[in-house]
Amino acid sequence: MDTTLDDPLVGRVLDGRYRVDARIAAGGMATVYRALDTRLDRVLALKVMHPALAADAAFVDRFIREAKSVARLAHPNVVGVFDQGTDGPYTYLAMEYVSGCTLRDVLRERGALQPRAALDILEPVLAALGAAHRAGFVHRDMKPENVLIGDDGRVKVADFGLVRSVDSVTNTTDSVLGTVSYLAPEQIENGVTDTRVDVYACGVVLYEMLTGAKPHTGGSPAQVLYQHLNEDVPPPSATVPGLPVALDELVAQAAARNPELRPYDAASLLGLTLDARIRLSDAELDRVPPQARAEERTSTEDRTSVVPRPVAPLGAPPAVAGGESMNQTSRLMLPPLSQAQGQAPAPAPAPVARAQRRGLLLVVVGVLLALGLGTGVWYINSGQFTKVPNLLGKSEAQAKSELSAAGLGVKRVDRKFSEAFDRGTVMDTDPAGGKRIRGNGAVALTISRGPEVVAVPNLKSRPLEEAKAELAKTGLAPGVVSQAFSQDVAQGSVISTDPAGGEKRAPDTAVSLLVSKGRPVQVPGVTGRPLDQARAALQGLGLKVETAAEQLNSPFPAGTVAVQSVGAGTQAAAGDTVTLTLSKGPRQIPVPNVTGQDADAARKTLEALGFKVKVEKPFLSFSDTIAAQSVPGGQSAPEGSTIVIRTKGL
């Protein structure tokens, strides 16, 4: 079922400019939508931060940093950012819309790629990262999910949300932000992130493209981290026999565990990649890999997350403790592998020709970094598929006619209210316009019923769950629930709503609910009272009573209440819990011998230990020297108890 229709942003216009048409993908920090810039009449992607995170300055700063960083790059192999703004609770980036799929979609559908296809994808990725590195940025989250392959074959790098300035790279102490399967060893061990962490991730991605599987896998993130730290990325030919040595060497150089052994940045790795391509014959480049195993072909990818770094080096493989963090992405239908095999290979170039071509590498790398790699990988996306026509805003009859002309059928027709689309026009399709679908497939249409105004129901004195159900039935959404004491509304029932009952609002408007905590109860003071008496007093007022597991020393006798979690005189609601901590009695303190001391000095000594002191002087005594004390020195007395000291008599 297409959940995009339940998304409150779909159909809205953000900032008076961007009409949100459909949800493309959702992640831990943001949701990406297909939208229309109504001023420039162009389709774009809106990356909208989850409203719950908008109050976090760190997330907002990361969002804005992504916009500024990518805007500075302006590279043809980087997904461009057009605008950044805020509309109420929504902070967004307006970005270039790439109609196509991700490298993860390709790997999931096809498994291992031909070497030519793998290099055709890797080279523009490195061109984009090389431009970023030269501009002083580190991506920090390179993975197949962030490599987009457009319908026109152009490859683009996306999601610079974790981008960091090279000059600001520092060592972190507790954790590292990234994706477990692609973290470099120094990121895990020391939190160090420079250009070489992107190089390492690209080496892992290249291995995955050549073999159809990740080099390091395990039942938990900790097991994968251990392998990054202690095991080299194996040569791809160990998994796919027959792959040329040049590709094994390229993976080994990029994914070396020691960062000093890796190419310094993506531009350097791009030069090595072009050199490796020169050394391969057409037959080696077009070698068809074997089918990947089903479990490898259907595995899901890791989610970008905060990964705790080990306090000490991981010396032994950790036990299985649960699966890696997963993040599902939409699966895109792709043609059978046989349709992209190409023609019979041509003979390998002569050694002299190869040497001449190798001499041009430095020049070629510079040009590619400046202009971007335009080489397409169109053969990955070719086959017996067609695109869904863009039907938004068209009448139902027009939509059905265009689908029929494209050889597609109508799966079903749904009808929903919409403020953004005229009644009787298409407000959404499944699959969305521009998406690939098999030539004989069918499309679900959602037709607008036009705008609707809903009256807020009167929910006073209705139980909370019943009130929520009534709002949903009416077409409104339950909003923030807060609580307050009430003398006339039963506990757990609605006191009032905002907007108030009877007011009219658009469908899906959130209605805040103020719920009764019942009549207030004045909590009595029960410290110093026996537990049974204290419990009876509190329960008699409708309060729940719990007893703390631990006891503590206090001036109150052992077994009586030392502390109550809700203070005396505080207002509470019936059913609230008061936790009672029992006394172990006062602490026993050793009493020092103060005889022979001056009375003032003796008093200060005893009071400093927590005792109360009473000084007695015999009749007509003029001495301040202590002759006796009520508790002899060396014995113990309860903390807070009174010690009597007497001065010498005549």
**What is the percent of the chain where pLDDT is above 90?**
46
| 3-state SS record for 193-240 | CCHHHHHHHHHHHHHHHHHCCCCCCCCCHHHHHHHHHHCCCCCHHHCC
**What pLDDT does residue 330 have?**
27
634 phi-psi bin (left φ>0, alpha ψ -120 to 50, beta other): left
**Per the structure block, which two tokens stand in for 605?**
């000594």
DSSP character at residue 286: T
pLDDT band at 331 (very low <50, low <70, confident <90, very high): very low
- Give the pLDDT band (50/70/90) at residue 54: confident
pLDDT, averaged across the chain? 81
Kindly state the helix (H) or strand (E) to which residue 63 belongs, with its residue range: helix 57-73
Structure tokens belonging to residue 343: 């023609």
In tens, the pLDDT along 481-505 reads 999 999 889 999 999 999 999 998 8
Region 589-610: mean pLDDT is 93
- DSSP character at residue 598: B
Contacts of 285 (CB under 8 A, 6+ apart): 114, 115, 116, 119, 277, 345
pTM above 0.75, yes or no: no
Which H/E stretch holds residue 479?
A: strand 477-484
User: In order of start, what are the domains of the chain with their CATH numbers?
Assistant: 1-97 (3.30.200.20), 114-380 (1.10.510.10), 454-516 (3.30.10.20), 520-582 (3.30.10.20), 588-647 (3.30.10.20)
Q: Does residue 313 register a pLDDT over 50?
A: no
Lowest mean pLDDT of 56-70, 436-450, 562-576, name the range.
56-70
Of 276, 227, 283, the closest CA to residue 249 belongs to: 276
Residue 159 falls in the annotated catalytic set: no
pLDDT score at 396: 92
For residue range 448-480, what is the model confidence (pLDDT) as tens digits? 877 778 889 999 999 999 999 999 888 788 999
355 or 92, which is more confident: 92
195-211 vs 266-278: helix axis angle to the nearest 10? Answer: 30
Tens digits of per-residue pLDDT, 134-174? 888 888 889 999 999 988 788 999 887 555 555 444 444 44
Structure-token match 């729940």, residue found: 544
Sign of CA dihedral 598, 603, 606, 612: positive
Residue 378 is predicted with a pLDDT of 57
Helix (H) or strand (E) holding 366: helix 361-371
pLDDT tens track for 561-594:
999 999 998 889 888 899 999 999 888 899 999 9
pLDDT at 285 over 70: yes
CA angle 106, 107, 113 (to 5 degrees): 95
Q: Of the residues 21, 105, 141, 576, which is catalytic?
A: 141
For position 220, what pLDDT does the model report? 82
Instruction: Give strand ranges (E) for 81-229.
Output: 81-87, 90-95, 100-102, 137-138, 147-150, 155-157, 164-165, 175-178
Lowest mean pLDDT among 42-51, 52-61, 230-239, 271-280: 52-61
Residue 188 has what pLDDT? 85
Could you report the per-residue pLDDT of 552-569, keeping only the tens digit for each?
Answer: 988 899 999 999 999 998
What's the confidence (pLDDT) of residue 425?
92
Q: Which of 226-230, 243-247, 305-309 has the lowest mean pLDDT?
A: 305-309
CA distance 155 to 100: 10
Which has more pLDDT, 503 or 346? 503
